[in-house]
Amino acid sequence: MADAQLPSGWTLQQIRDVSGDREAVALDPDRAVKWVGGTGAHEVLHPEIILGFHDLCLVKPVHDDDWYMGCLYDDGSIDCWSAYDDLYEALRGL
């Protein structure tokens, strides 16, 4: 199982400050993640970094600079429905 990691140049405190969520955490990226937005075709995402905000999360896939917002389910899986160009914008969109 891979270790949870933070985005380069960011601390957990900075993520919490920008998002407004004092309990934000870095999650283990070893989980099922799907993109369900757009045309309705589900695409599997391969996460490099996942940040958790209670029932919401932000996912940065491997080989992709975008951040995807989604819902974190009880079984650990994630469905993403929105994409952002950068982390700051995504954190503000929570």
Residue 1 falls within a domain, yes or no? no
Q: Which residue has the tokens 């900075």?
A: 14
Confirm whether 4 is domain-assigned.
no
Q: Find the Cα–Cα–Cα–Cα dihedral 18, 48, 81, 31, rounded to 10°.
A: -120
For the range 7-11, what are the long-range contacts, defined as Cβ-Cβ under 8 Å and sequence gap of 24 or more? Answer: 7/49, 7/51, 7/60, 7/87, 10/87
Q: Examine residue 81 and state whether it is found in any structural domain, yes or no.
A: yes
For residue 62, being part of any structural domain is answered with: yes
Please tell me the predicted confidence (pLDDT) of residue 2: 52
Report if residue 27 sits inside a domain: yes
Assess whether pLDDT exceeds 50 at residue 1. no
Polymer length of the chain: 94
Question: Mind listing the pLDDT tens digit for each residue in 24-69?
Answer: 999 999 999 999 987 767 899 999 999 999 999 999 999 999 999 9
Q: What is the tally of structural domains in the chain?
A: 1
Instruction: Give residue 19's domain range.
Output: 12-92
Residue 20 falls within a domain, yes or no?
yes
Does any domain span residue 41?
yes
Would the pTM count as exceeding 0.85?
Answer: yes
| 2/22: higher pLDDT | 22
